Structures are given as structure tokens and as C-alpha cells.
Structure 1
Amino acid sequence: MASTKFALLGCAVVLVVSSGCPGSATGGVSIRPDGSPGPQPCPEKSREVMNYLRLFVGESAWVQLDANQTRARPITLYDGNIESVLDENLGLLEAPARLYGRVWTGGPQVVIRYHAAQPMNGGDLVPLCAVARLGFGQLRKHPESKPGTAIIDSPRAGVYIVDEFR
């Protein structure tokens, strides 16, 4: 039994690494003059998995942006990796689930790109491509945000499935 779990874990790691998620997919992103990330393709393997799980472009759900700051107001986000919590089902991905991605705070508003999800029911790591969005400029940084950080009002945002990062 333990060897089966170890084999499944190994397969999940290989799948994630081969799809470019989450580490290598965030490494070579170009930065725009305003400090926000440039375009980035969604790996083919991620698109295949999303199609299988009925995670189609435009599918959305609510997410707690930072698993360590749920329901706090305001929250501070930092450049680098982030772990979020899915509040609603997204396609066949059941909530709650962890979403893993990267935060950029260099532009006028926070940019969060997600590259993987971890179902909390014991499922394997799932490669995906999604972004955090919130209308009315609510992901805009407070002026007192220090370099490398972003203070924002809402601890929640919508997470949207995309086929590439723009």
C-alpha cells in the first residue's frame, strides 16, 4: 500500500515537472516596464488536464487569496509563491482545494497566476492555468505598499481558468 502511494506521488511529481508547473513555469517570465509579468504560455499538459477536468476557459470560482490570511482585511501579499484556498468547486475540482501560483506586485495592481491545484481529499497535484481577478480595481495596491509587497483590501478574488497568461 505504501509503495503504491509512493509510486503515485512520484508520478505526480514527474507530471508537474514535465508540464512546467509550478516551479519552472514561473521562472522565465518577462517583466513589463510597469513591473507586471509579460505573456506566458499555458503548458500543453496543463491544457490537456484542464480539458479532462472540465476546467474550460472562463470557468471561475471564489478563492481565498492567501491561505495564511483567510478572511483578514486588508491583506499583504509578497512577490513570489502563493498558496490559496478554493472556496467553490471549479469544474470537477472540488472545494476546498489548494491552488499554487506566483504573485507579482511590481505593477499598479497585484498579478496572481496559478499553475497547480492540490485537492484536499488526497488526490494528485493537478496542473492548470488560472488567474486571480477582482473587478472595480480591487486588486490595486495601496499607495503605502512597500517594494515587493502589495497591501490590498480583499482577501478573496475570483479565480478564472485561462489558456495562456497575457
Structure 2
Amino acid sequence: MISTQLVRSSCAVLILTLSGCVTSAGGVSLRADGTPGPEECSEETRKVMNYLRLFVGEAAVVQIDANQSARPITLYDGPIESQLEGDLGLIEAPSRLYGVVWTQGEQVVIRYYEAHPMNGGNKIPLCAVARLGMGQLRKRPDSKPGTALLDATTAAVFIVDAFR
């Protein structure tokens, strides 16, 4: 016989799933349209960024997906590895940036949480976003759910102190 507690727990999980209140990997809350909600950058990460001269607004160009170069590129919801095309503060190109992609809505949202220098060393925590400029992150209309086809292979990445 199934316990009442088990039934209640299962129903609660089902209701949360159907209502869209479930967060994505990493604990980021999602808005009703499936895009990520606000997220703070940790105090420790802000201190590291300050030390490395990664100030809010500092920018560079990235290869959006380090594993794809043909056009269009296909992005999926979840982890992404991008490659710096130019230096970002004291982080030298061609360092890798690691983050998460959300493909809901008309444009892709990419948040970066760490960089890994290619000349060795440890991963560096950061808060950065790929921003829409000249249409790079606008999805093609033939993109399927959970994916985004992009004509551009590069985008601008900007340091932020919080994700909005």
C-alpha cells in the first residue's frame, strides 16, 4: 500500500513541474517565458573579478561555441564552452568561457560563470553575459524547441555584477 506522504510528495513535484516553477540546472529561477530570472554574482566572484581588472562593462569577442564553426551553429539548452577571441581584462585569449545557454524566447541567453586560461592555471570564477548586438543571438525562425539556430558564430561578452 502506498503511503499518504509519498502520494502528497509526488503530487507536489508534479504540480511544481506543470506550473513552470522548477528551476534550471544550477538553481536559476525561470520566468514564465522560459528565460532565466535574476541571479546575483557571489561576493567571492566579484572580488576575483576586481582583482583581475574585470570591471562591469569590460567586453571582448567570443566564439560562441568553441566546438562549432560552420554556419548556422546549433545551440542547445544547457552547458556551453566558448572561446575568447580577444583579451578580457587580464584573461588572455584564447581562454575558454564556461556557462549556460537558454534557448527560449526570440533570442538566446548565455551566462558565463567561469573562465579557463589555455596557458594553464585554475578556472577563474566570473559573471559575464553574451549580449545581443547586430542580431548575433537572435534565433532563426526554423529553430526547433530546446534549440537555437544562429547565423553568427561570434558575439560580444560583457562582465556584469549580477544577472538581470
Do both share a fold (TM > 0.5)?
yes
Q: Which structure has the bigger radius of gyration?
A: 2
Q: Deviation at 1:26? A: 5.2
Q: What is the letter of the counterpart of residue 110 of structure 2?
A: I
Fraction of identical pairs, as percent: 70
Aligned residue pairs, count: 141
- Structure 1: runs of 5 or more not aligned: 1-24
Residue in structure 2 matched with residue 5 of structure 1 by the alignment? none
Distance change in 2, residues 1:83/1:121 (3 Å): same
Q: Contact 1:34–1:108 at 8 Å: present in 2 too?
A: no
Q: Deviation at 1:65? A: 0.5
d(CA) in 2 for partners of 1:136, 1:93: 25
d(CA) in 2 for partners of 1:146, 1:32: 20
Cα shift readout 1:66-120 (whole Å, capped 9, x = no counterpart): 01113x2111100000000001001011111000000000121100000000000
Greater RCO (Cα-Cα under 8 Å, separation 6 or more): 1
| Runs of 4+ residues over 3 Å off in structure 1 | none
d(CA) in 1 for partners of 2:135, 2:38: 21
d(CA) in 1 for partners of 2:125, 2:84: 15
Residue in structure 2 matched with residue 133 of structure 1 by the alignment? 131
Quick check: 26-35 or 61-70, which moved more?
26-35
For 1:39-78, what aligned pairs fall within 5 Å after superposition?
39-70=38-69, 72-78=70-76
Q: Deviation at 1:35? A: 1.5
Secondary structure of 1:57 counterpart: coil
Q: Deviation at 1:135? A: 1.4
Q: What is the letter of the counterpart of residue 54 of structure 1?
A: R
Residue in structure 1 matched with residue 84 of structure 2 by the alignment? 86
Q: Contact 1:97–1:117 at 8 Å: present in 2 too?
A: yes
d(CA) in 2 for partners of 1:44, 1:148: 32
Confirm whether residue 123 of structure 1 aligns to residue 112 of structure 2. no
Q: What is the letter of the counterpart of residue 133 of structure 2?
A: G
d(CA) in 2 for partners of 1:51, 1:74: 36
Secondary structure of 1:106 counterpart: coil
d(CA) in 2 for partners of 1:156, 1:86: 10
Per the normalisation by structure 2, the TM-score is 0.83
d(CA) in 1 for partners of 2:44, 2:82: 22
Q: What is the letter of the counterpart of residue 37 of structure 1?
A: P
d(CA) in 2 for partners of 1:80, 1:96: 22
Q: Deviation at 1:134? A: 2.9
- Structure 2: runs of 5 or more not aligned: 1-23
Secondary structure of 2:46 counterpart: helix
